[in-house]
Structure 1
């Protein structure tokens, strides 16, 4: 079967270019989805943390729904279900919309927790200096909260990169979809699946390295004791 037990090195090398064709799409889907989640997640966190129940409860409902439904089901609703009411998206659009809206719920909870961890005295000090809510939030609170939020946000992004493989079921030509093609062509799915796992691994290591750099950058906003 192969050169190294259950893993055929020769077959893996031959099919590596085909599988790597899906890498740019995996990166696009992951980064754009994370960007959408970040844009939606912060307002959601602020609404979730707000005293006004008309802001707080819709945010809580959205977060509860997104965290309580499988992302695969949500992708099917967007790509296969919405055309029934004449709302259609391409596979790529459905993927980034599905992952983005879903990740926003988790990002919102991380942001809410990070904002809550900043001492209330920071708000009071900012208002004493004459800053309004927006300036206090952007200039004082968010930089401190960002340092706290970076590790869990990176975990969400890592999960998003790996979850992007689900986009294969709606025909997005990303890493896993290319792997399925290679597996069907070679009849050696085990080798192909191990190969794609070895591609995801260093990709996630690179993301973890960026996380460390961001943590060091934002450390300057945290009071060192």
Structure 2
């Protein structure tokens, strides 16, 4: 038992690794801010395009959504980071991760937004037109607020998945939380930094998980 505690729950090792873990956490926060922010905005564009009256736009959007939902994010990331340089386009690890994850998550966010927009009664759009609002004003002021409220649990759930997804950025040597925790493990020959990283993810994500559950129960009442 003492060996297990010393190897996985060593407070002294975690204290020594704390600066590295905090550095990784800061990078993870930056990465999440970029990917989630851009993904949410791009998802709206994808949702609107998927409901377009233009058949070509609609079919192209369906193709995009199907491809990037089916393509594993890790494969996409490795291709962008390691494959594009052969075409003369070299990206930093951070740029590669953001592009890969936004392409992937915009497809998921787009489907969630689309479901939300379809859940808004058609009369809301007609009422907006009757009051003289432009299509853009109707979308921003009338439809989107109601759509987001209807699919908020799904948006939060997908955002949780995005945060967890950032851990695979370590494969391109981006110094996020998991990468730096693994570096600390290599330097200390102890697994405690990895356990600490797992606990940090848990402390960050568990409140969001409880929020989703609470909101879903509220909607079910």
Q: TM-score, normalised by structure 1?
A: 0.87
1:197 equivalent in structure 2: 198
Q: Displacement of 1:88 after TM fit?
A: 0.9
- 5+ residue gaps, structure 2: 216-221
- Is 1:108 the counterpart of 2:130? The answer is no
Q: Is the 8 A contact 1:3 1:10 kept in 2?
A: no
1:65 equivalent in structure 2: 67
Instruction: Within 5 Å, give how 1:109-128 maps onto structure 2.
Output: 109-128=111-130
Q: Displacement of 1:51 after TM fit?
A: 2.6
Aligned positions, number: 216
Question: Matches of 1:5 and 1:77 in 2, distance apart?
Answer: 36
Question: Matches of 1:141 and 1:198 in 2, distance apart?
Answer: 39
Question: Matches of 1:3 and 1:106 in 2, distance apart?
Answer: 41
Question: Matches of 1:38 and 1:62 in 2, distance apart?
Answer: 16
| Residue among 158, 162, 168 paired with 1:166 | 168
Q: Is the 8 A contact 2:69 2:107 kept in 1?
A: yes
Question: Matches of 1:5 and 1:87 in 2, distance apart?
Answer: 43
2:14 equivalent in structure 1: 12
Question: Matches of 1:187 and 1:201 in 2, distance apart?
Answer: 23
Q: Displacement of 1:4 after TM fit?
A: 6.5
Deviations 1:26-83 (A, max 9, x none): 0111110111212211111011112321110110111111100110100001100000
Question: Matches of 1:12 and 1:28 in 2, distance apart?
Answer: 23
Instruction: Within 5 Å, give how 1:24-103 maps onto structure 2.
Output: 24-103=26-105
2:219 equivalent in structure 1: none
Q: Is the 8 A contact 1:114 1:145 kept in 2?
A: yes
Q: TM-score, normalised by structure 2?
A: 0.89
Question: Matches of 1:154 and 1:62 in 2, distance apart?
Answer: 22
| Residue among 169, 172, 177 paired with 1:175 | 177
Question: Matches of 1:209 and 1:137 in 2, distance apart?
Answer: 30
Runs of 4+ in 1 over 6 A off after TM superposition: 209-212
Question: Matches of 1:26 and 1:89 in 2, distance apart?
Answer: 18
SS in 1 for 2:175: coil
Q: CA RMSD in A?
A: 2.5
